[in-house]
Structure 1
Amino acid sequence: MTDEETWPELASDERGPVPTVAVVGRPNVGKSTLVNRILGRRAAVVQDEPGVTRDRVAYDAEWAGKEFSLVDTGGWDPDAEGMARSIALQAELAMRTADVIVFVVDSRVGPTDADEAAVKILRTTKKPVVLVANKVDSERQESEIHELWSLGLGEPFPISALHGRNSGDLLDKIVWAFPEVPTGALKERGPRKVALVGRPNVGKSSLLNRIAGEERAVVDNVAGTTVDPVDSLVEIDGEDFVLVDTAGLRKRVKFASGTEYYAALRTEAAVEAAEVALVLLDASEQISEQDQRVLTQVTESGRAMVLAFNKWDLVDDDRRYYLEKEIDRELGQVSWAPRVNVSATTGRAVEKIARALREALGGWGQRISTGELNQWISALQAATPHPVRANKAPKVIYATQAAAEPPRFILFTNAPFEKQYLKFIQRKLREDFGFPGTPIDLVVKPRESRKRPKK
């Protein structure tokens, strides 16, 4: 058996694309009860008070031999504020990313202003919509749902999610609406999620408002105005992104206290939940230790990264010269991150942010086949072998990319490797394959010694 056969390639067993069905509607119309009815078990939390479901939650479902992803959402309200606004945003994302939308209304209340506002969004999605009139517990009540025709979504389908009335027929109707080719693959990803991070007062909220074209975040010259992460669905250069404005990071979480401690925790969680971090730096000021701390946190989180130098309208020729020197000296560890020079005040180059985000996300999800990787590593070692240590020449016997997002490589070796040689491999990986905007993780697994014990 060869060394290569000792470590077979790590294979992934991923399910192919399945249709995605989003259950949406305003609060307390019975969406989670319907989800539980379709699943045949109590999976979604149900209470009499509105607003219990706060995020998109996906479940595996099946009907008549057809598998699909069923997405429960929080209540959608066009006038929501605070936490409710974030909940509404998640419901809106579900509407835009589903293959089929199940729009649930309360038959006993009839069409409301919130329902009509939701219909306007539903029409823009150009997805099939099944209008469900819930809480119709008897045939007599079916005659009372004619008002729902005014929503303009066709015939309302009467059901009782609580008692299961007509639920089978509803599932037939949903399955019939599936597209021939699902756009799903669980389609949970939807718009890419971007954490807007940086030290206090670098202009994160101002940039969010500039991109959104409206006041979505409070802006003040006093550092630390933003405390809670704020989710906003925005369009940059023709593509939707979810931007999360976060509190400015002053200290490490363990050294913070009071409100600052919890703000730092929430910011840390926002970075972990995002796919890419847009790190803002103040181009008009020197790169600080706080900036370095933010960059380290994002790199350690394994997220893709884009550097945005804000307040470029305040940068003159002298500052530009010194800034380039600072970047070379202070940001060498993240030289792989795409850079864009912007101004939240004037709107300069804001559309270029989308291009940089796409580039970073592309590198974050990049893969190299095992065959190509091993050919490359063999040629690299032949040209530049690892220095001999203790009369032994360490070398990679077999390599594989175990994961993406971020890229993670496992190197099976005949001996431990020095850090400097690993940095050399990492640098050559970037030179030959790219991997822009993403940290790269190299894991070395030395082969165990085969020496026989002395008798």
Structure 2
Amino acid sequence: MTTQEPGDTGESWAGDGSWSDESEFTGWEEFGDDADGDSGGARLPVLAVVGRPNVGKSSLVNRFLGRREAVVQDIPGVTRDRVSYDALWNGRKFSVVDTGGWEPDAAGLQQSVAAQAERAMKSADAVLVVIDTTVGATAAEEALARVLRRSKVPVILVANKVDDERLMADAAALWSLGLGEPIPVSALHGRGSGDLLDAVLAALPEAPMDKFGFGGGGPRRVALVGKPNVGKSSLLNKLTGEWRSVVHDVAGTTVDPVDSLVELDGEVWRFVDTAGLRRRVNQASGMEYYASLRTQSALEAAEVAIVLIDSSEPLSEQDQRVISMVADSGRALVLALNKADLVDADRREEITRELERGLNRVPWAQQLNISAETGRGVHRIAPALRTALESWDRRVPTGRLNSWLGELIAATPPPVRGGRQPRVLFATQAANRPPTFVLFTTGFLEAGYRRFIERRLREDFSFTGSPVRVNVRVREKRGRK
């Protein structure tokens, strides 16, 4: 079980997440093998975007991407993890890492956020320092500048929030940091973003030209979803073998989806840690609303979802809502009952009864007992994902499907409706991902009979871990000439 960040050991950092000595920060070139982007060939250059809280880092990242990907709100501390995105400029592709706000005297949750920013800087090919021009350089930014001046990594200094010419003089005052020429930009309006991207490409190592965009292929995408504080980030950290996501007792620590390439059983997967879903999207507001939208987008971009359930607590309405969302999206599904190390024998019996009642909509999903904290049962995740994806991709030949359906209907014909028994003329598999079957009939089939056909399809063609959809199309009789 390895990760795409072999150099990210954190050995040069103090135990409290701060820098123990500025001199320890000079050897960044030895961490040049880190890559959070696609690894299908040459490694993508990595740009780390750092700065104090609420200086516009995520807004600038969205400007680079050309879309609103990172969650942005006018309060400090929205971004907490280091989140990687693939960016493209002038035909060249690179990975941009958005980080939480860094402060030298951070404590508690903010200390963990700052440590993630430090890891991003340590493993990057270039560092982009964002400063709020309307505030100017603070003591925290001067401390950051002292460390960056001693390092060998290229640094790009950005004077953000320069919305008009009146702030150009304030931007020029940032020369005093000794990090080179400050580039005035406005992440909100896009002013100067083209010049900044040109400077980014000049600072980053050469990357192969990308003439066809981002293309398909690559590792299979796995979304980690669930209600807040069930252990999604802890599981991602256990799988990657390093501290990839911020973990804290505060529910809702993760806001942006966090991508990580993980090797399990000799195969590389792209895991996406998502924000915990508290309520329906239309009932959420502010940061929680945008985090819910990002979670839904991550689920739509994934191929299989791992829904984490806290087995030490009763199955809640939130758990059932998350499971229903995954089933409605048509993605393959694996249920991971986390915190199994906290469950005694009596609680196991209660869980069995709760799952029989609460998971009657997805009886086809595989269930795994795991512990993200201790690693118990985590080795079973990769085989379960492969089984679910094989079912999700499976196609049944039309000839074999109709032979099977003829035998099934002969043994159990559809119920009579309106005094007449509908006939099934033929069937075909219209699509996979998820498997979707269309039955052409002479009359309407009852919902119970459609569920019966779906259940037998699962049993006879091994659609384990994947939703199966059965649609009915009624053919009208032709009128007489």
> One fold, TM greater than 0.5?
yes
Counterpart residue number, 2:302:
274
SS in 1 for 2:361: helix
SS in 1 for 2:346: helix
Counterpart residue number, 1:74:
93
SS in 2 for 1:74: strand
Residue 236, structure 1, aligned to residue 264, structure 2: yes
How many angstroms apart in 1 are the aligned matches of 2:244 and 2:288? Answer: 22
How many angstroms apart in 1 are the aligned matches of 2:418 and 2:65? Answer: 65
After superposition, the Cα gap between the structure-2 partners of 1:56 and 1:192, relative to the gap in structure 1 and judged at 3 Å, is: farther
How many angstroms apart in 2 are the aligned matches of 1:267 and 1:280? Answer: 14
2:366 and 2:384 in contact (8 A); partners too: yes
Residue 283, structure 1, aligned to residue 342, structure 2: no
SS in 2 for 1:429: helix
How many angstroms apart in 2 are the aligned matches of 1:382 and 1:230? Answer: 51
Q: Which TM-score applies when normalising by structure 2? A: 0.59
After superposition, the Cα gap between the structure-2 partners of 1:187 and 1:348, relative to the gap in structure 1 and judged at 3 Å, is: farther
How many angstroms apart in 1 are the aligned matches of 2:376 and 2:305? Answer: 20
SS in 2 for 1:332: coil
How many angstroms apart in 2 are the aligned matches of 1:411 and 1:51? Answer: 44
SS in 1 for 2:378: coil
Residue 352, structure 1, aligned to residue 371, structure 2: no
Residue identity over aligned pairs, in percent, reads: 53
Which of 278, 286, 309 aligns to 1:258? It is 286
Summarize deviations over 1:401-448 as a string: whole Å, max 9, x none: 011111011111111111111000001111111101111111111002
1:306 and 1:360 in contact (8 A); partners too: yes
How many angstroms apart in 2 are the aligned matches of 1:189 and 1:358? Answer: 16
Counterpart residue number, 2:412:
384
1:416 and 1:444 in contact (8 A); partners too: yes
Is the deviation greater in 443-452 or in 269-278? 443-452
Deviation of residue 392 (structure 1)? 1.5
2:439 and 2:470 in contact (8 A); partners too: yes
How many angstroms apart in 2 are the aligned matches of 1:441 and 1:332? Answer: 16
Deviation of residue 187 (structure 1)? 8.1
Deviation of residue 389 (structure 1)? 1.4
How many angstroms apart in 1 are the aligned matches of 2:267 and 2:425? Answer: 43
Counterpart residue number, 1:66:
none
How many angstroms apart in 2 are the aligned matches of 1:243 and 1:396? Answer: 42
Which of 444, 460, 464 aligns to 1:416? It is 444
Residue 428, structure 1, aligned to residue 462, structure 2: no
2:87 and 2:95 in contact (8 A); partners too: no
Aligned pairs, number: 311
How many angstroms apart in 2 are the aligned matches of 1:332 and 1:52? Answer: 42
SS in 2 for 1:334: coil
Residue 367, structure 1, aligned to residue 395, structure 2: yes
Counterpart residue number, 2:423:
395
How many angstroms apart in 2 are the aligned matches of 1:26 and 1:349? Answer: 35
For the aligned residue pairs, the C-alpha RMSD in angstroms reads 3.3
Runs of 4+ in 1 over 2 A off after TM superposition: 20-28, 49-57, 80-86, 186-189, 449-453
2:40 and 2:218 in contact (8 A); partners too: no
SS in 2 for 1:326: helix
After superposition, the Cα gap between the structure-2 partners of 1:213 and 1:408, relative to the gap in structure 1 and judged at 3 Å, is: same
How many angstroms apart in 2 are the aligned matches of 1:21 and 1:345? Answer: 31
2:86 and 2:94 in contact (8 A); partners too: no
Counterpart residue number, 1:40:
none
What letter is aligned with 2:339? Answer: K
What letter is aligned with 2:350? Answer: Y
After superposition, the Cα gap between the structure-2 partners of 1:300 and 1:56, relative to the gap in structure 1 and judged at 3 Å, is: farther
Residue 214, structure 1, aligned to residue 242, structure 2: yes
Summarize deviations over 1:293-326 as a string: whole Å, max 9, x none: 0000000001000000000000110000111111
What letter is aligned with 2:358? Answer: E
Counterpart residue number, 1:55:
86
SS in 1 for 2:473: strand
Counterpart residue number, 1:62:
none
What are the within-5 Å matches in structure 2 for residues 28-47 of structure 1? none
Residue 191, structure 1, aligned to residue 219, structure 2: yes
2:220 and 2:269 in contact (8 A); partners too: yes
How many angstroms apart in 1 are the aligned matches of 2:336 and 2:44? Answer: 37
After superposition, the Cα gap between the structure-2 partners of 1:415 and 1:286, relative to the gap in structure 1 and judged at 3 Å, is: same
5+ residue gaps, structure 1: 1-19, 29-48, 58-71, 90-111, 115-150, 162-170, 172-185
Deviation of residue 237 (structure 1)? 2.5
Which of 310, 313, 317 aligns to 2:345? It is 317
What letter is aligned with 1:285? Answer: E
Which of 332, 335, 338 aligns to 2:363? It is 335
Residue 247, structure 1, aligned to residue 275, structure 2: yes
Summarize deviations over 1:320-353 as a string: whole Å, max 9, x none: 0111111111112111111111101111011110
1:24 and 1:76 in contact (8 A); partners too: no
Counterpart residue number, 2:35:
none
Deviation of residue 256 (structure 1)? 1.0
After superposition, the Cα gap between the structure-2 partners of 1:298 and 1:419, relative to the gap in structure 1 and judged at 3 Å, is: same
1:381 and 1:395 in contact (8 A); partners too: no
